Structure 1
Amino acid sequence: MPHILIVEDETIIRSALRRLLERNQYQVSEAGSVQEAQERFSIPSFDLIVSDLRLPGAPGTELIKLGQGKPVLIMTSYASLRSAVDSMKMGAVDYIAKPFDHDEMLQAVSRILRDRQNLQSTAVDRPASKPGNTDKNTVDNSNAEIGIIGSCPPMLDMYSKIRKVAPTDSNVLVQGESGTGKELVARALHNLSKRAKAPMISVNCAAIPESLIESELFGHEKGAFTGASAGRAGLVEAADGGTLFLDEIGELPLEAQARLLRVLQEGEIRRVGSVQSQKVDVRLIAATHRDLKNLAKVGQFREDLYYRLHVIALKLPALRERGADVNDIARAFLARQSARIGRTDLKFAPDAERAISQYSWPGNVRELENAVERAVILCESPEISADLLGIDIELSDLQDDFIGLAPQQSISSGNTSLDPTEDLSLEDYFQHFVLEHQDHMTETELARKLGVSRKCLWERRQRLGIPRRKTGVASEN
């Protein structure tokens, strides 16, 4: 279980953050100042340090040195963003603005710990790789520094491109459906680049109100607009010397696109309300699930910006296109979630393995991670069943299974006989299979044969009006 140190002088904030982290299976210690933390704890023993920037006595940035390489997440108010930028240049792994959203904090903590774990795994794995050894373990180890799980051909091709592109300063456009792991690709590009020791600033363009996006990205001067009581550095400036990752760039307003284009063309920014420009050195990585070329054709995205971004394009495959990777990723998530709650006995039951491989995962890796986390929390036995994953395998995923159940037979019900290869609706397959077999199968057996959960089977019975037979089948507990 990861051990986190909170250093915050405001008792209410410190207590609330402690409760939040403990509810999410983290071990937490706390202190009200750097001095108190030094007196009470061995600071390098923690997995992560979360500290306010402004503390009584020494500032929170002192913990960067005292932590001896352990990641430090700095909390700061929006008004002191310039100080947050400085703290990252001093070695803080990231910063988060106060007041922070609980989900935002949990995501930041999870990501930082995951990145640290990936780096540690890389250090352990590298010596194991020997020239000429081509077994599966060697392939996995050779990709450890990228920090992405998967060995299907499209992902191996992706790794090759990442290694070629990372050392350059070329702009990169990462494309793929939501939840496929575009930020992981961006982090791999940053970590393998010459900018790895500088900050990587991640911005979700869809999460910032349109009225604030230019100020957030490019900063503003005092009095630039109502409420601008002080000058403020923007996130592009915060990424100076490092990498700027703009997620969902297709949501960026046209006015902000024009300013971003200037950054790419001239290497300079001008804060909102300022007449002076200043030079910045950033490497831009953008990501989107939208078709920017089509958006440019209809005037919703600047065509000149599109071509500036499209120097290198990396396309992430959807999870349903990655074959056996889905089960490997699920097992990795299971190991991570099991470790968080201190269980070592958990594994997927055979029906869960089948469900994971058959489900289409429209939410991709993000949906898979959530399903595994939910199953680990709810599981009371050593085996995680398909029911606990909470997924509803669509009939479209099961057509081949229906055909495979009786390759030389027809599915019949009453006076009707159906060949599975005929042009029938998928609901017809479901209905006739259930009516044919429910006299001699339990609900559990029916669900297993169909590759769905019992809950899903019940719901489809209700929707299609298929009553459950009371006779001819042994009762189930």
Structure 2
Amino acid sequence: MSRILIVEDETIIRAALRRLLEKNNFEVEDAASVDEATRRFKLEDFNLIISDLRLPGAPGTDLIELAKSVPVLIMTSYASLRSAVDAMKLGAVDYIAKPFDHDEMLLAVRSILDGKTNNPVQANTLQTNTNAGQTHILGSCAAMQELAKRITKIARTHATVLIQGESGTGKELAARSIHEQSDRAHIPMISVNCAAIPESLIESELFGHEKGAFTGANVGRSGLLEAADGGTLFLDEIGELPLEAQARLLRFLQEGEIRRVGSVHSKKVDVRLIAATHRNLKELAKQNQFREDLYYRLYVMELRIPPLRERDSDILEIADQMLVNACRRMNVTNYHFSHEARQAMSTYRWPGNVRELENAIERAVILAEGSLITLDVLGLDIPKASLDELETQFAARIPEPDATLSTEEQANLSLDDYFQRFVIENQDKLSETELAKKLGVSRKCLWERRQKLGIPRKSKKQANSL
């Protein structure tokens, strides 16, 4: 039985993670800091150490050197992505972004213990079957079979790839599949959402900066392109990239070199770029909102991910797999769709694509009376309305959290339970920005997790009173 050490200062997260691993037959110990871990345990006795990046006292990265040959998996938030990349350069075997699903954590742990270095775990695992660390996109329709063949061909080359498709279709999964089938698979793929990084920081994040390059640049830092040297960089929502950063990116694609902000020297890097967007870059170029020369540099190899409504024969296959995974995470069994629900899923247009299907099934498992998933809990017959209205309709069915939970009861909370309780209990006194900061995630990540777990947002009246 593999021994795992968890180093995390948040009591509830530490207890929930310990419970998850123990239920999956791992022997687990835990500590609240690096100092406690080294005082209580001999680090070499463990097969894996899972540590938060930010801890009281010494940071989690100190364990990399202290643990010697024991692999260290770093937990971090998207907002600290660059720090996680630095941790990889210091010797961390991998990193996982908070908040993460149970499946994501178990996938990372098993891959590391099996000797397969896993990529940063940010993919939507609910649309994948994982075998030997490879990402397989579900779907047997003609369009998806052709996509799979094209991915295999593209993966053998070092060509720049542009992936196009509507939001929620699985563009990052396609990028990950290309990377894993390439000769760069031994180096983790770095994923960046261009829309989630402030415009004032995007150039520094991608290209790095020298000390004193701008206010607050107290030390020089490498950028994500430099960190991805030898591997793959995935730029999601590249249509949101500012024009100044586009010019720098174009130079990289033309010359294969980068220059840090504030530096006069260039550096050669070997990075395969995969970009994705749901926007029409050609139209944006005509409107002078995207550089035309960059568009044609990106358009070396193009992949189009079909929307779910064009994959009629795949919808139920994906839904069944999502239901299995949702039930596993919530520790329930034998849930199944009614005939009417299956019919409705087959004919519904799914404007939010696979992500909307995932959210509907997750919500249905929570609201279902018994093990039968009926049409009413899927919510597909609800007239089109704003997200606020939809959330309000089922929010009344979510029980209010009990602030008097005992320590033992808190320890039995899953990570999703912790996230849901924390948000519901604190959203009346904290703004969205403050909530995200407390949880160690970006506002975008908080918004997406609200959708996934069905947590209603504050009303406008409440928000304005903060």
Task: Judge same fold: TM > 0.5, yes or no.
Answer: yes
What secondary structure, in the 3-state scheme, does the structure 2 residue paired with 1:326 have? helix
Match status 1:94 vs 2:62: no
- The aligned counterpart of 2:14 is 18
CA distance in 2, matches of 1:25, 1:359: 38
- The aligned counterpart of 2:355 is 366
Contact between 2:64 and 2:90, CA under 8 Å: does it hold in 1? Answer: no
- The aligned counterpart of 2:236 is 247
Correspondence 1:218-233 to 2 at 5 A? 218-233=207-222
What secondary structure, in the 3-state scheme, does the structure 2 residue paired with 1:206 have? helix
CA distance in 1, matches of 2:29, 2:112: 24
- The aligned counterpart of 2:318 is 329
C-alpha displacement of 1:144: 9.6
> How has the CA–CA distance of structure 1 residues 119 and 15 changed in structure 2, closer, same or farther, with 3 Å as cutoff?
closer
CA distance in 2, matches of 1:84, 1:37: 29
Match status 1:106 vs 2:95: no
Aligned CA-pair RMSD: 3.8
Contact between 2:6 and 2:30, CA under 8 Å: does it hold in 1? Answer: yes
> How has the CA–CA distance of structure 1 residues 343 and 64 changed in structure 2, closer, same or farther, with 3 Å as cutoff?
farther
> How has the CA–CA distance of structure 1 residues 149 and 304 changed in structure 2, closer, same or farther, with 3 Å as cutoff?
same
Taking structure 2 as the reference length, what is the TM-score of the superposition? 0.67
C-alpha displacement of 1:23: 11
C-alpha displacement of 1:283: 0.4
Contact between 1:249 and 1:288, CA under 8 Å: does it hold in 2? Answer: yes
> How has the CA–CA distance of structure 1 residues 142 and 15 changed in structure 2, closer, same or farther, with 3 Å as cutoff?
closer
- The aligned counterpart of 2:309 is 320
> How has the CA–CA distance of structure 1 residues 393 and 161 changed in structure 2, closer, same or farther, with 3 Å as cutoff?
farther
CA distance in 1, matches of 2:215, 2:268: 27
- The aligned counterpart of 2:282 is 293
> How has the CA–CA distance of structure 1 residues 17 and 232 changed in structure 2, closer, same or farther, with 3 Å as cutoff?
farther
- The aligned counterpart of 1:72 is 73
Taking structure 1 as the reference length, what is the TM-score of the superposition? 0.66
Partner deviation per Cα, 1:424-475 (whole Å, 9 max, x = no partner): xxxxxxxxxxxxxxxxxxxxxxxxxxxxxxxxxxxxxxxxxxxxxxxxxxxx
Contact between 1:204 and 1:246, CA under 8 Å: does it hold in 2? Answer: yes
C-alpha displacement of 1:4: 8.4
Match status 1:259 vs 2:248: yes
Contact between 1:30 and 1:37, CA under 8 Å: does it hold in 2? Answer: no
List alignment gaps of at least 5 residues for structure 1: 97-104, 124-139, 396-477
Please, which moves more after superposition, 29-38 or 176-185? 29-38
One-letter amino acid of the structure 2 residue matched with residue 15 of structure 1: T
Structure number with the bigger relative contact order (C-alpha 8 A, sep ≥ 6) is: 2
Correspondence 1:206-225 to 2 at 5 A? 206-225=195-214
- The aligned counterpart of 1:405 is none
Give the count of matched residue pairs: 359
Partner deviation per Cα, 1:339-383 (whole Å, 9 max, x = no partner): 112222111111211121121111111111111111112223121
CA distance in 2, matches of 1:56, 1:215: 24
> How has the CA–CA distance of structure 1 residues 4 and 333 changed in structure 2, closer, same or farther, with 3 Å as cutoff?
farther
> How has the CA–CA distance of structure 1 residues 268 and 57 changed in structure 2, closer, same or farther, with 3 Å as cutoff?
closer
Contact between 1:246 and 1:286, CA under 8 Å: does it hold in 2? Answer: yes
C-alpha displacement of 1:24: 10
CA distance in 1, matches of 2:130, 2:142: 16
Partner deviation per Cα, 1:380-431 (whole Å, 9 max, x = no partner): 3121111111223669xxxxxxxxxxxxxxxxxxxxxxxxxxxxxxxxxxxx
Percent of aligned pairs with the same amino acid? 50
Match status 1:7 vs 2:37: no
- The aligned counterpart of 1:201 is 190
Please, which moves more after superposition, 224-233 or 149-158? 224-233
CA distance in 2, matches of 1:375, 1:77: 28
- The aligned counterpart of 2:334 is 345
Match status 1:59 vs 2:63: yes
Contact between 1:7 and 1:52, CA under 8 Å: does it hold in 2? Answer: no
C-alpha displacement of 1:142: 11
CA distance in 1, matches of 2:195, 2:219: 25
One-letter amino acid of the structure 1 residue matched with residue 63 of structure 2: P
CA distance in 2, matches of 1:356, 1:206: 31
User: Which one has the largest radius of gyration?
Assistant: 1
- The aligned counterpart of 1:416 is none
C-alpha displacement of 1:19: 7.0
Contact between 1:4 and 1:26, CA under 8 Å: does it hold in 2? Answer: no
C-alpha displacement of 1:231: 1.3
Match of 1:302 among 291, 299, 302: 291
What secondary structure, in the 3-state scheme, does the structure 2 residue paired with 1:66 have? coil
C-alpha displacement of 1:295: 1.0
CA distance in 2, matches of 1:106, 1:249: 24
Contact between 2:207 and 2:261, CA under 8 Å: does it hold in 1? Answer: yes
